[in-house]
Amino acid sequence: MTDSACPIQHAGLVVAAGAKEGRGTGASRLTPALTALAVVVLLVSAAAPAFAQTARDLSVMRRPRPEFQPLCFLTDLGLTGEEGAGGFRVCPRVQVTGGYDDNVFRTEDDAEGDAFTRVSPRIALRSNWENHAVGVELRGDIERYADLTNNDWEDFELRGQGRLDVREDLYARATASVGRFHEDRDDPDAPPGVAGVNQFYKGEEGLQLTYQPTDLVFRLEGRARQIDWRKNGFIDNDDRDRHEYEVSFRAGMEYAEEFLFFVEPAYNIRRYRRDRDFEGFERDSQGFDVRAGVLYDVSGLTFLEASAGYFRQDFADRRFETADGVSVQVDMAWNPTELLTVNMGAGRSVEETTQLGVSSIVASRATLGFEYEIDYNLMFDTLGTFRRDDFEGGSRQDDNIFARAGLTYLMNEYLSWNARYLYARRSSSLAGNDFTSNTLLLTLRGQL
């Protein structure tokens, strides 16, 4: 089967493992071996043959525009590739953003606004080989406020990835990353009005494998994460430290070249570093998510992946009831014309929380967005999201609305700018947790 007849290009197989062990669990004992395997695949060379572009790749905001692509620097790093290899491309980039947020602390009353500046440097190393590819990227984000300086934060991340074709119908991909990040003020677990910003370290490793004989496809997917929260003033976040392990398997069959029908069972283990949190609850859990669905791809026109099924999460603490219900995942990109893209999505999943008496958050979301090409180098895009958070074991329910709209102008291969407006609103059944915010951003990007 040729690549152009394959609608499952984005359905790669992932098996992952964490770099740390978690209190002697069976899953954690597998971690070192699987991590080593991921690193071997990552560092060996990874094959990345050219695949046909999907409708998502040809959307207004994502489609290639050669005149505005970064030039990058070429180097061979002293390595010898295959015949026709072109060494490596080093691609530096920096973004500078100026903005204003009218409710920095996401509070219900007495909102405080402030101006801020964000600097975001990036440097990526990517192979320029004809048949193989590896890549490493280092990025940072530094945000500084004019007056409310206790909201300042710095994020960074180092990420590597690679791909290896074992044979024509079997390939593997590995990823690994480590970094420090911050928790947004509108996160359900972020205490309203707290002076400082919560920060955490996260490591993640993955190994992807896909086997595709004839019209069948088999995908094994797994990932491991280690999350280490930092103290924030008088707030001790140590009881949020955890390890997460996920494994899934997809079996599918192609039909008429444009459809892939599949079933996908998944299993997860979540282990906290502390036996019990500061309120005396045991937060460990395990669960599954079984879905059946379809992937539909008409090149250049429509990309749709939709699935539905059932999820269940069981908790070690007997005071917590099982969280279960309908599982949904929808991801769609539609290009009705060359100038317009429509994006839609939906999802329902179980998320972690350490709030008092609450076992988890069942998050349901729906998104709708548009991208429009005003001119070849001037694009408009907008996206709206509705999310409902149900706090299992408690009476709290949050309805969240997020919206954005922006203009992007590509000046040349070196410079571009973006103007964007962000809106966020939360209506919560828990008193004191409502908020509304408006944010204006102006970004200048430089690249080589």
| pTM for this prediction | 0.84
pLDDT for res 36: 45
Spatial separation of the C-alpha atoms in residues 200 and 237, rounded to whole Å: 9
C-alpha 230/C-alpha 241 separation (Å) is 9
CA angle 151, 152, 156 (to 5 degrees): 130
Q: How far apart are CA 410 and CA 280, in angstroms?
A: 54
* Domain 9-447 indexed as CATH 1.10.760: no
Domain positions in the chain are: 9-447
Are 230 and 237 in contact by the 8 Å Cβ rule? The answer is yes
Tokens of 274: 């502390």
- What is the mean predicted confidence (pLDDT) over 284-311? 94
pLDDT of residue 131: 67
Question: How does pLDDT run across 162-198, given as a tens digit for each residue?
Answer: 988 788 888 899 999 999 999 999 898 887 667 789 9
260-296 pLDDT, tens per residue?
999 999 999 999 999 999 999 999 999 999 999 999 9
pLDDT category, 7, cuts 50, 70, 90?
very low
φ, ψ dihedrals at 86, nearest 5°:
-120, 20
Q: Provide φ and ψ at 83, rounded to 5°.
A: -60, 130
What percent of the chain lies above the pLDDT cut of 90? 69
Amino acid at 245: Y
Output the average pLDDT for the chain: 86
Asked if residues 96 and 443 have their Cβ atoms less than 8 Å apart, the reply is yes
Which range has highest mean pLDDT (28-32, 133-137, 365-369)? Answer: 365-369
Question: Distance between terminal CA atoms of the chain?
Answer: 38
Buried b (16+ CB within 10 A) or exposed e, 194-221: bebbbbbebbbbbbbbbebeeeebbbbb
Long-range Cβ pairs for the range 252-257 (8 Å, 24+): 252/8, 252/11, 252/216, 252/217, 252/218, 252/219, 252/295, 253/215, 253/216, 253/217, 254/1, 254/5, 254/6, 254/7, 254/8, 254/215, 254/216, 254/217, 255/215, 257/5, 257/7
Statement: residue 47 has pLDDT above 90: no
8 A C-beta contact, residue 41 and residue 17:
no
The span from the CA of 138 to the CA of 447, in Å, is: 15
Contact partners, residue 389, CB within 8 Å, separation at least 6: 188, 361, 362, 363, 396, 397, 398, 400
The Cα 94–Cα 121 span in angstroms is 4
Q: Indicate the DSSP class of residue 430.
A: S
Q: Inform me whether the pLDDT recorded for 100 exceeds 70.
A: yes
